C-alpha cells in the first residue's frame, strides 16, 4: 500500500493486513536478536553484535508501531521520535564499543560470522518481502521500512566482514563494518526524526484547525 497509489493521504498503518505483517516481522526479528547476540558474543564479533542490536531495535520499532496505529498524528509522530532516538543511542553504543575494540583487538571467528550472517540475511530478506507493499507512509510506517532495509544491508556487510576477517587474518574488517553500521543507524535516525518533526508540527496545525 503505497501512499502514492492514487491517494492523497499518507498511509497511517490502518490495515489488518499491515498489522499481521508487523506481527510476523516482529517475531522474526526478536528471535534473530537472541540468536545473533549469542553468536556475536561467542565469536567475539562487533559486527554481529551491532547487527543483533539492529534486530532488537526493529522488534521494538514494530511493537511501538502496532501500539500507535490509529492514534492521532502527534502521538504517532512522538512514537517515531522515540524510535529515532533509540537508533541514535544504539548507533553511539556500537561506535563507542567498536573504538574500544580497536584498542583491545581480539580476532573474531570468521566461520561463525559467515553462517550467522547468512541466517540473518535470510530472515531480513523475508521481512523486506513481507513489508515491501507498505514501504511508504507516515513516520511510523516509514521507520518500519527503514529498519528492515538497514538490516538487509547490515547482513550483507557482516558477510563481507567475515570474508575480510578470514582473508586478512585481522579483526579490522569486522571493526570497519561495525563502524559503518553505526553510521547507518545514525543516518536512519536523522531521517525518522526529520519526518516525525514535520508530522508533529502538522498534527498541531490540524488540532488548531479543529478547535476553530
CATH number assigned to the domain comprising residue 32: 1.20.1510
Regions in the chain scoring below 50 on pLDDT = 1-8, 207-208
Residue 3 belongs to some domain of the structure: no
Under 8 Å between Cβ of 83 and 193: no
Residue 1 belongs to some domain of the structure: no
pLDDT of residue 7: 37
Tell me which residue range forms the domain holding 64. 16-211
Please tell me the distance from the alpha carbon of residue 169 to that of residue 175, in angstroms, as a whole number: 13
Model pTM above 0.85: no
pLDDT of residue 38: 93
Phi, psi of 143 (to 5 degrees): -65, -35
pLDDT of residue 3: 31
Residue 121 belongs to some domain of the structure: yes
- How many domains, in total, are found in the chain? 1
pLDDT of residue 114: 85
pLDDT of residue 6: 33
Lookup: cell for 2: 503505497
Under 8 Å between Cβ of 164 and 172: yes
Please tell me the distance from the alpha carbon of residue 124 to that of residue 130, in angstroms, as a whole number: 10
Lookup: cell for 46: 562487533
Please tell me the distance from the alpha carbon of residue 177 to that of residue 175, in angstroms, as a whole number: 5
Residue 11 belongs to some domain of the structure: no
pLDDT of residue 4: 30
Residue 2 belongs to some domain of the structure: no
pLDDT of residue 17: 84
Residue 124 belongs to some domain of the structure: yes
pLDDT of residue 35: 93
Which CA distances in Å does 70 have to 25, 66, 76, 199?
Answer: 20, 9, 8, 15
Amino acid at each position: 500500500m503505497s501512499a502514492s497509489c492514487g491517494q492523497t493521504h499518507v498511509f497511517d498503518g490502518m490495515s489488518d493486513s499491515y498489522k499481521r505483517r508487523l506481527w510476523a516481522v516482529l517475531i522474526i526479528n526478536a528471535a534473530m536478536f537472541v540468536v545473533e547476540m549469542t553468536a556475536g558474543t561467542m565469536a567475539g564479533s562487533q559486527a554481529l553484535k551491532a547487527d543483533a542490536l539492529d534486530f532488537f531495535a526493529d522488534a521494538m520499532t514494530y511493537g511501538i508501531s502496532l501500539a500507535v496505529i490509529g492514534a492521532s498524528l502527534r502521538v504517532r509522530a512522538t512514537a517515531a521520535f522515540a524510535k529515532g532516538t533509540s537508533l541514535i543511542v544504539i548507533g553511539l553504543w556500537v561506535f563507542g564499543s567498536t573504538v574500544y575494540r580497536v584498542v583491545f583487538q581480539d580476532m573474531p571467528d570468521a566461520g561463525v560470522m559467515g553462517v550467522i550472517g547468512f541466517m540473518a540475511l535470510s530472515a531480513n530478506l523475508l521481512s523486506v518481502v513481507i513489508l515491501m507493499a507498505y514501504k511508504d507512509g507516515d513516520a511510523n510506517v516509514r521507520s518500519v521500512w527503514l529498519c528492515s532495509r538497514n538490516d538487509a544491508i547490515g547482513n550483507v556487510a557482516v558477510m563481507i566482514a567475515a570474508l575480510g576477517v578470514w582473508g586478512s587474518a585481522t579483526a579490522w574488517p569486522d571493526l570497519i563494518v561495525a563502524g559503518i553500521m553505526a553510521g547507518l543507524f545514525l543516518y536512519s535516525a536523522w531521517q525518522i526524526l526529520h519526518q516525525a518533526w514535520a508530522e508533529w508540527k502538522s498534527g498541531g496545525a490540524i488540532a488548531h484547525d479543529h478547535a476553530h
